[in-house]
């Protein structure tokens, strides 16, 4: 006989799903930003200001439990490093001036 998940389990699953959605949205915004930067000399360049607002909002809404390294990258506006981190490619990030990454 199947049992219903406990409320704690359901809440944890919902929180994990929400966190995953936030991180997917962050990844999508970072991808859009990294695509937009080299196109700034195009006749109709993408609006970086809108992307910066989205990235700032994404940093403010990072879920509890977000890896400290990702928080660091976002706080420092190291967007390529954050993008690589979200792809499990953090090893490709070279040490930066902050002495950490």
Residue 2 belongs to a domain: no
Residue 99 belongs to a domain: no
How far apart CA 27 and CA 44 sit, in angstroms, is 24
Domain range spanning residue 12?
7-92
State pTM to two decimals: 0.77
How far apart CA 51 and CA 46 sit, in angstroms, is 9
Q: Half-sphere exposure (CA, 13 Å, Cβ side) for 17? A: 6
> What's the total number of domains in the chain?
1
Residue 40 belongs to a domain: yes
Residue 79 belongs to a domain: yes
pLDDT at residue 95 greater than cutoff 80: no
pLDDT digits (tens, 9 = 90+) for 28-63: 999 999 999 999 999 999 999 999 999 999 999 998
């Amino acid at each position: 006989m199947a049992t219903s998940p406990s409320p704690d389990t359901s809440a944890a699953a919902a929180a994990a799903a929400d966190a995953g959605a936030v991180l997917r949205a962050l990844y999508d915004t970072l991808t859009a930003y990294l695509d937009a930067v080299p196109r700034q000399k195009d006749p109709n360049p993408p609006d970086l200001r809108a992307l910066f607002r989205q990235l700032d909002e994404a940093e403010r809404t990072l879920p509890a439990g977000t890896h400290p390294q990702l928080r660091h990258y976002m706080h420092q506006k190291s967007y390529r490093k954050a993008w690589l981190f979200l792809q499990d490619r953090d090893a490709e990030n070279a040490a930066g001036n902050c002495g950490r990454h």
